[in-house]
Structure 1
Amino acid sequence: MRFTLATSIVALAVLAVAAPQPTGQRIGMAIPITKRSSLVNADKSVDFDALKSHVAAGKAKIRQGFTTYEKNTGMKHPSDVGGVERRGAGEPLTDDQSQLWYGSISVGTPAQSFTVDFDTGSSDLFLPGSRCDSSCKGHTIWDPSSSSTSKDLGKSFSLAYGDKSTVSGEQYNDTVSIAGFSATTQTLGAANTYSSGFQSSQFPADGLMGMAFQSISSYGASPVFQTLVSDGSVSDPVFSFKLSSSGAELYIGGSNSALYAGDFTYSLVMHQGFWEVKMDNVKGNGETILTNVNAIIDTGATLIIGIPSDVSTLYNALGGTAAPSAGQGYYTFPCSSFPSISLTFGGKSFPIAASALNLGPVSSGSSDCVSGLVGQDTGSSFWTVGDVFLQGVYTAFDVGNTQVGFAKLA
């Protein structure tokens, strides 16, 4: 039996956290965000069906990004190596999109509030539309006809985010506001149907807001934050995340200095599309085991998903044990002695907290626990670095300089 574990829901109203500053200083605003997670059962053991579903969703999202990149640019994405493994017969998967960080935006004139999953691994915004069937029940519905600033673009869309998880509908332009900043003539989708993974019982947010680059937009349109920049709504072309069980927030127009300590360490984006950067190395128990690994930084991912051969090398060095009950690419360690693993960006190593790396026991009462760093073929030459790592750092996504910065949490 699968059980959904959700953190306490905090108020999702837009919150301004930056006081007025002298002219010339950059001013940002923040909104609180909440996590929904369901990778464990009621007894705290790992739900392998949900785990596999999450990996399947990540594979599908990357594949869609590669396909869209080629359509938009006329070139194959440099990190697209193809050959992604297909799901084997008899492998159980749940259509579950409930690994997400979500908060509030508003759309239209007059403005109407919605909750969205903030996803740096995709680039499009969609909401349940007024023509949506019963699959959108339980979500706040967006009716473009009720907004004086909406415009029907006469285009349809279809997005795939996981195993059989799709969203389809019509494209519109309208005003989208987040943390007090407004993007005018923003392209977004009004969904006519949600697959089960996006229904309210599985996906508590109303919709999803992609925060990667235009080259992987299925609409072929500027993502919301880039529109804010081009409209001149934000003076600092940076957005930042604190992904933590306490005080999580998305900061628009810079970074919140109260939430991190010291300086940022930056890595340049290698290929615009995803937020893809060079990871200098991966260390285990203080020793460098892997070097020169490409990685995308994805707030829409819970796990760290590595290239299978890399992950096998890492765990062979650390004494990890393959988890046959989960399938290829999943590993365990004694619950009481998880290894120390760190990822290095821009010459600085950032440790992964054992509490984040340890997903939970293999089964109820087991002394072996599952690692949140898994090896899977995603058809790419990069790793996907998600919440297992990101909840331990403060992360800045710098659109102006096309780089990602990490800092120690305060």
Structure 2
Amino acid sequence: MRFSFVFSITALQALVVALSQPVPLSISLTKKSSLRTADGYVDPASIRAHISSIEAKLQRGAAAFERNTGAAFFSHSLTKRAGSSGSDPLVDSSNTSWFGAISVGTPLQNFTADFDTGSADFFLPGPSCDVQCSGHTLFNPNSSSSAVALGKSFQLSFGDKSTAEGQQYNDTVSIGGLTATAQTLGVASNTSGFLKEKFDGLMGMSFPSLSHFPAEPVFNTLVSQGAVSESVFAFKLASSGSELHLGGVNSALYKGSFTYAPVTKQAFWQIDGDGIWINGNQIVKTFSAIVDTGTTLIVGNSSVVSQFYAAITNATEVQPGIYTLPCNAIPNMSITIGGKAFPLSTDTFNKGPTDSSGKICIGGVQGSDSVGDQFQWILGDVFMRNVYTAFDVGNSRIGFAELA
């Protein structure tokens, strides 16, 4: 009997320990609209505007990296071509932003946030934002007993010339049932255009070196405070069933094993790849790229993208860096990383027709002169919709697996 009693106590202790461990959670993601016009066509001008916003984000991140580390991110100034575990469901806004539910403060106040692996800071609209933030849920730090004013201001600018500025606070942040305490966030008192989006605020998930505050990103705080069992978050991006998984991966959403690529520079999520293929022909050899949930396209250096489309019959550059191709001739494209080829579906490569004829379509790969210094490519939605992607903060690597 004594042995049984000891065994029972031991088993109970093991159960208590197991129950106390952090559980990975998922957040559903949504993406509401697209780069298409109201009549359902793809406007090259909207593609150019999105690329301009990405170029501005690169410049903003590079400036923060230089200020935080004392080292230049790019070897020269960026230029733009003239002319134009738990899971959280995600929603897509303007085909550029994946957003889901978060909560902030004590008691918790509920919001939606764009989860962006291409930036580091977290901010929400504040109570004095007024008309500029109409239609959005405002965070009032005065209504939170855990909010602490830091006496520091912030100002962020975005590619469409919109801005967000205000004051920094520490407060409790809950995401997917996981809680970070004393998390730094910005409370915007003034915005210009940015918060016209479907989501309330922005939550950056890059490395801390890109922070303008500067401060630890929310997921890094979850890791340091032991709120997650694994220092990994993972994305599935799709037309339906999209999610952000925190504290590990969701085994129901992928099949086979992960192929990992080490992060080559802890700023953006930057890795090296082996090649890019079109219709069985290797167009690009070894390359460097960043993986970004905030980019809807695959964006490459303008000169390399020109070579890319030269391999596609009747592809045409209609604006600087913007290419069309026949809708009935969408190529088979694949990207090789870590020795494994990941094919892209024609549905993700084809962004849609330019007019009612349905003959000419916009390609999912477009060019920018701001890409090509420290990395040649940005792998956004057009790539990520074809893979399950795990961002491993602890081991500084990204894993890719086939979607289940």
**TM-score scaled to structure 2, two decimals?**
0.90
One-letter amino acid matched to 2:236: K
Q: Which deviates more from structure 2 when the two are superposed, residues 124-133 or residues 111-120? A: 124-133
Q: Counterpart of 2:266 in 1: which secondary structure?
A: coil
Distance 1:177 1:139, change over 3 A: same
Could you say which residue in structure 1 is the equivalent of 2:257? 263
Q: Equivalent residues in 2 for 1:204-215 (5 A)?
A: 204-215=198-209
One-letter amino acid matched to 1:315: Y
Distance 1:97 1:133, change over 3 A: farther
Deviations 1:236-260 (A, max 9, x none): 0000000011111100000000000
Residue 55 (structure 2) pairs with residue 59 (structure 1) = yes
Could you say which residue in structure 1 is the equivalent of 2:214? 220
Name stretches of at least 5 consecutive residues in structure 2 with no aligned partner.
1-15, 85-92
Distance in 2 separating the partners of 1:320 and 1:222:
48
Distance 1:67 1:198, change over 3 A: same
Contact 1:168–1:192 (Cα < 8 Å) also in 2: yes
Residue 371 (structure 2) pairs with residue 374 (structure 1) = no
Could you say which residue in structure 2 is the equivalent of 1:106? 103
Q: Which deviates more from structure 2 when the two are superposed, residues 221-230 or residues 43-52? A: 43-52
Report the CA distance between 1:392 and its aligned residue.
1.1
Q: Counterpart of 1:364 in 2: which secondary structure?
A: coil
Could you say which residue in structure 2 is the equivalent of 1:84? 79
Distance 1:401 1:46, change over 3 A: same
Name stretches of at least 5 consecutive residues in structure 1 with no aligned partner.
1-19
**TM-score scaled to structure 1, two decimals?**
0.89
Contact 1:320–1:331 (Cα < 8 Å) also in 2: no
Q: Percent identity?
A: 49
Q: Structure 2 residue aligned with 1:160, among 157, 161, 176?
A: 157
Could you say which residue in structure 2 is the equivalent of 1:196? 193
Distance 1:320 1:387, change over 3 A: farther
Contact 1:85–1:377 (Cα < 8 Å) also in 2: yes
Q: Structure 1 residue aligned with 2:324, among 332, 335, 340?
A: 332
Contact 1:282–1:344 (Cα < 8 Å) also in 2: yes
Distance in 2 separating the partners of 1:84 and 1:157:
25
Could you say which residue in structure 2 is the equivalent of 1:250? 244
One-letter amino acid matched to 1:337: A
Distance in 2 separating the partners of 1:349 and 1:47:
31
Could you say which residue in structure 1 is the equivalent of 2:234? 240
Could you say which residue in structure 2 is the equivalent of 1:187? 184
Could you say which residue in structure 2 is the equivalent of 1:10? none
Report the CA distance between 1:97 and its aligned residue.
6.4
Q: Which deviates more from structure 2 when the two are superposed, residues 296-305 or residues 331-340? A: 331-340
Q: Counterpart of 1:49 in 2: which secondary structure?
A: helix
Q: Structure 2 residue aligned with 1:118, among 109, 115, 120?
A: 115
Q: Structure 1 residue aligned with 2:145, among 130, 148, 162?
A: 148
Contact 1:305–1:374 (Cα < 8 Å) also in 2: yes
Which aligned segments of 4 or more residues in structure 1 are displaced greater than 3 angstroms? 20-27
Deviations 1:277-311 (A, max 9, x none): 00211011112111111111000110110011111
Contact 2:81–2:368 (Cα < 8 Å) also in 1: no
Q: Counterpart of 1:162 in 2: which secondary structure?
A: coil
Residue 33 (structure 2) pairs with residue 37 (structure 1) = yes
Q: Structure 1 residue aligned with 2:334, among 342, 346, 353?
A: 342
Could you say which residue in structure 2 is the equivalent of 1:277? 271
Distance in 1 separating the partners of 2:402 and 2:33:
24
Distance 1:291 1:25, change over 3 A: farther
Distance 1:291 1:257, change over 3 A: same
Say which one has the larger Rg: 2
Report the CA distance between 1:389 and its aligned residue.
0.9
Q: Equivalent residues in 2 for 1:284-303 (5 A)?
A: 284-303=278-297
Could you say which residue in structure 2 is the equivalent of 1:13? none
Q: Counterpart of 2:267 in 1: which secondary structure?
A: coil
Report the CA distance between 1:83 and its aligned residue.
3.6
Report the CA distance between 1:390 and its aligned residue.
0.6
Could you say which residue in structure 1 is the equivalent of 2:171? 174
Distance in 1 separating the partners of 2:209 and 2:299:
23
Distance in 1 separating the partners of 2:72 and 2:108:
39
Could you say which residue in structure 1 is the equivalent of 2:7? none
Distance in 2 separating the partners of 1:39 and 1:362:
11
Report the CA distance between 1:53 and its aligned residue.
1.3
Report the CA distance between 1:366 and its aligned residue.
4.0
Report the CA distance between 1:206 and its aligned residue.
0.4
Could you say which residue in structure 2 is the equivalent of 1:9? none
- The Cα RMSD (Å) is 1.9
One-letter amino acid matched to 2:298: I
Could you say which residue in structure 1 is the equivalent of 2:347? 355
Distance in 1 separating the partners of 2:238 and 2:107:
33
Contact 1:282–1:288 (Cα < 8 Å) also in 2: yes
Report the CA distance between 1:312 and its aligned residue.
1.1
Distance in 1 separating the partners of 2:314 and 2:227:
49
Report the CA distance between 1:323 and its aligned residue.
3.2
Could you say which residue in structure 2 is the equivalent of 1:17? none
Aligned residues: 379
Distance in 2 separating the partners of 1:26 and 1:128:
30
Distance in 1 separating the partners of 2:38 and 2:122:
33
Contact 1:97–1:162 (Cα < 8 Å) also in 2: no
Distance in 2 separating the partners of 1:249 and 1:131:
32
Distance in 1 separating the partners of 2:306 and 2:374:
15
